Amino acid sequence: MKTDIWGTVNLPSPGIEFHDVVRHRMPFPSFRFLAEMLCIDEDLLGKRMGMSSALLSNATTVGFFPLSESRRLYGLIVALQASCELFEGDVQAAGVFLRSPLRCFNSNAPLEMLITEEGASAVIDLIGQLEHGVLT
């Protein structure tokens, strides 16, 4: 079963239109949807994504995230979509996977790896390996 994370968080699929959303800053309600989908408190999600309480408070007030955090949230959505595909549409299983510490990430959860582009690439690579049964 295919789960459309993009539609669930009220964002267009990756492409030009989504590029414009990220460039103009990710809306705070999308973050709220992500926290709900991952069954994680908004403050804890922000912390795991490397966001300060002050930044989250400001995003709540203005309704948008700065560009760097918008890019991190983009990485989270990509990872969540890939995880949902790995777990055949099971959003809860995908959330558990993203929140669980893994030895291959030095006991960090994939969610914590999404702070950097390199970490996000490593998470997506791992999901691809798991999907194809190729582990190194």
pLDDT tens digits, residue range 59-103? Answer: 999 999 998 898 888 889 889 989 999 999 999 999 999 999 999
Instruction: Please determine, for residue 20, whether its predicted confidence score (pLDDT) is greater than 90.
Output: no
* 108-122 pLDDT tens trace: 999 999 998 899 999
Tokens of 38: 């991952």
- Mean per-residue pLDDT, 3-18: 64
Among the listed residues 78, 102, 109, the one whose alpha carbon sits nearest the alpha carbon of residue 14: 78
CA atoms of 94 and 37, how far apart (whole Å): 9
Q: Are 93 and 108 in contact (CB under 8 A)?
A: no
